Amino acid sequence: MNKIYKNMRSAVKTGSTRLSGAKRGEDLGRERDAAASVCCLEELFLTTPGISLVQISRAVIDEACRLTGSRTGFAGYTEPATGRLMAATPTGRKQKKHPGKGGPFSSPEFNKLWARVMREKKPVLANCVRPARGAAEKPRGGIKIEKFLGVPALEGSKQLGILALANPRGNYSAAQLATLRQLARAYAIILKRKLAEDSRRREYDGLLSMIASSQDIIYSADMAGKIIYVSPKVTAYGYRPKDLLGSSIFKLIHPQDRGYAVKALASTGKTGRSLPMISYRLRKKNGGYFFMEQKSGIVISGGVPGMITGVVRDIGQRSGAADLLRENEATLRNIFDTTKDAIFIKDLAGRYVKFNKACADTFLLKPETALGKTDAEIFPPERAREAAKDDREVLSTGKTIERTYDIVLPSGKYYFNTVKTPLRSPGGKITGVLGVSRDITAVKKAESEQAAFRAAEAMSEVAKPLAHDFNNALAAINGYATLIDEDLNASSPIKTGIGQIINAVKWAAELTSRFQYFARNPKPGSRKGELNLKAYH
C-alpha cells in the first residue's frame, strides 16, 4: 500500500510541477494541486482492497502536511464502537492509537486548539499561539506549537473526524485553509464509506457466524436449482460445502420426491411466492436418506425472482429426540409412581405441588385435599414446624440435608428417614424442594431388639457365676437350718423361726433356678425365664 501511495504522490508532484511551469496563478496551481491530492486519496481508497482507517488517515495527513508545508499534525477519526478519537501522525512519526486526555501531542496549546475544532465543528487558524501560563518553553516529550490550522471532517452536521496541522514554514493563509477544507471534505467522504463498509463487513461476518453455528442446513440457489451457497452443517451428512457449489439441488432429492420439488420451484418462479413449508428426503454422502422440512424465501432481482434461499431441518433427528424424551418421561413417571419410598415436591412457600402414590398412602394424603397446602395444614404443629425449618435450610443454603423423623399415625408410631434437596431451574435458580422419605420403623425395631439382646447377653455373663455361687450359699443355709430343726423339740420356741428360714431357702432356690435359666437363655421378652419378684410377697 505504501508503494502504491508513493507512486501516486509522485505523479501528483509531477502534475503540480507542470502546472507551475505553465505559469498559471499561484492560487490556481494550489487548487489544482489540492484536487490532484483528493483524486490520489480517492484512488488509493478505491484500488486498495482491505485498506484500514489508520492507513487512510496516514495518507491524508501526509498530503495535508505536503500541501501546507506543516511540520507536524494528525488526522483523526471517531471510533464508532468506543467514541474515542483515533489519530494517525505523518509518515515517520509514532502512531497514536489511544491518545490520553491530552490528545495526540502533549502541548497544552495544541490540545486546546484541536479540542475547540471538535467541540465547535468549525475551522481554527492561528499564526501566533500563545503558550499557556506557567507552561515550559517546550513541553517535555512534546512539541512546541507556534502556529495551528485545524478543520473538522464533517458529513452534513455529523462530525466524523478532524485534520489538525501545526508549525508551517511560513504563516497559514486563507488559501491553505481552503485547501485543508477540501482535503477534510474528501476525508469525511472516505471515512463515511469506509465506516459503512466496515459495518457491513461486521454484519456479514456475524451473519456467517450465525449460519455456521446453526443446527439447520442453510442454502441459496438460483431459479434453476443450482446451489450458490450452502452452510457448513452439510458436513454432518458427509459433504463438504465447496463440493456442492454449482450442483443441482434436485440431484440430492429422493427420486420419489423429486417431481414434487421441481413443481414447487417452478411455481415459485412464476408466482414469486414460496410454499410455507415443504417436506422431502435428501440424500446423504453415503447413499442413505433423511427426512427434512424446508422453509424458503425469495430474493427479487429486477422485479422477478432471482434466487431462492432455504432453511432445511432434519426432522428425523427431531422425531428421534422427541421419542427419546417421551420414553424418558414415561420411565421417570413409572419410577415416581411405583417406588415404595414417599416422594414429594414443594414450592418456595412450602406448598405441596406434587407427591406420589406411596407418599399419599403413607401419610394418608389425598391429592384433592393436600395439593397446594403446607405441612402446618396437614400435620401436627410440632412436626410441621420441624419440617418447615428443614425446608428453609435447604432453600437458603442450596444444600441437601438428611433427617430422621417420627410421626404418630392411626396405625401406630413410625420412623422415617427423609432426604431433602433443592430443585433448580435450567438457569440454576432454586424453585422448590424435592423430598424422599423411607419408612425405617422395622429397622428401628430391629435395632432396639438387637440392643436388648446384647444387654441380655452381657447380663447372662454376669448371672451364670452369680447363680452358681448363690445356689452354694443356699445349700449351706438349708443344710444347717434342717439339722437345727431336727434337733429341736416340737415345743421349742425357735422351731417356728427355723421353719421360716427353711421356707425362705426353698423360695430362694426356686428364684435362683429361674435366674439360672435366664443366664442360659438370654432372650429379651421370654416369659418362661422371667423373674417374678412378687411371688415372695
pLDDT tens sequence across 421-472: 998 988 889 999 998 888 887 777 776 667 666 666 666 666 667 666 667 7
Of the candidates 352, 329, 351, the one whose C-alpha atom is nearest the C-alpha of residue 342 is 352
pLDDT in tens, 49-58: 888 888 999 9
Whole-angstrom distance, CA of residue 68 vs CA of residue 71? 9
| Burial class of 399 by CB neighbour count within 10 A (0 to 12, 13 to 18, 19+) | exposed
pLDDT in tens, 115-150: 899 999 999 999 988 776 655 555 555 678 889 999
Question: 83 is written with which cell numbers?
Answer: 467514541
Contact 131, 112 (CB under 8 A): no
Average pLDDT, the chain: 80
- Residue 4, CB half-sphere, CA atoms under 13 Å: how many? 15
The position carrying cell 422448590 is: 432
End-to-end Cα distance, the chain: 124
Question: 236 is written with which cell numbers?
Answer: 454432518
Question: 251 is written with which cell numbers?
Answer: 440431484
Whole-angstrom distance, CA of residue 537 vs CA of residue 533? 8
Handedness of CA 370, 372, 375, 380 (dihedral sign): negative
What pLDDT does 467 receive? Answer: 64
- Residue 76, CB half-sphere, CA atoms under 13 Å: how many? 28
Instruction: Find the mean pLDDT for residues 363-391.
Output: 84
Handedness of CA 508, 513, 516, 522 (dihedral sign): negative
CATH code, 339-439 = 3.30.450.20
What pLDDT does 412 receive? Answer: 75
Whole-angstrom distance, CA of residue 343 vs CA of residue 328? 18
Segment among 235-244, 281-290, 309-318 with least mean pLDDT:
309-318
Examine domains 214-319 and 339-439 and report if their fold is the same: yes
Q: Which of 82-96, 241-255, 428-442 has the highest mean pLDDT?
A: 241-255
Percentage above 90 pLDDT, the chain: 26
Bridge partners (DSSP) of residue 311 are 218, 295
Whole-angstrom distance, CA of residue 29 vs CA of residue 15? 10
pLDDT in tens, 31-50: 788 888 888 888 888 888 88
Bridge partners (DSSP) of residue 86 are 77
CATH code, 2-202 = 3.30.450.40
Contact 26, 34 (CB under 8 A): no
Whole-angstrom distance, CA of residue 219 vs CA of residue 442? 67
Segment among 15-24, 315-324, 369-378, 474-483 with least mean pLDDT:
15-24
The position carrying cell 412436626 is: 383
Contact 314, 281 (CB under 8 A): no
Residue 16 pLDDT exceeds 70: no
Instruction: Find the mean pLDDT for residues 363-372.
Output: 78
> How much is the pTM?
0.48
Residue 34 CA, chain-centre distance (Å), reads 56
Question: What radius of gyration do the chain's Cα atoms show?
Answer: 51
Whole-angstrom distance, CA of residue 97 vs CA of residue 386? 66
Contact 178, 172 (CB under 8 A): no
384-to-380, 389, 405, 421 alpha-carbon distances in Å: 6, 9, 11, 18
Whole-angstrom distance, CA of residue 238 vs CA of residue 224? 24
- CATH superfamily of the domain spanning 214-319: PAS domain (3.30.450.20)
Q: At what angle do helices 441-487 and 495-520 cross, to 10 degrees?
A: 150
Question: 385 is written with which cell numbers?
Answer: 414446624
Q: Where are the domains of the chain?
A: 2-202, 214-319, 339-439, 450-520
> 536: Cβ–Cβ under 8 A, 6 or more apart, which residues?
507, 511
Between the CA atoms of 123, 124, 127 and 128, what dihedral angle is there, to the nearest 10 degrees? Answer: 180
Higher pLDDT: 45 or 151? It is: 151
Q: What DSSP element (H or E) covers 230? A: strand 227-230
What pLDDT does 191 receive? Answer: 92
The two beta strands, 148-155 and 158-168, are: antiparallel
pLDDT in tens, 330-344: 777 788 778 888 888
Whole-angstrom distance, CA of residue 401 vs CA of residue 331? 26
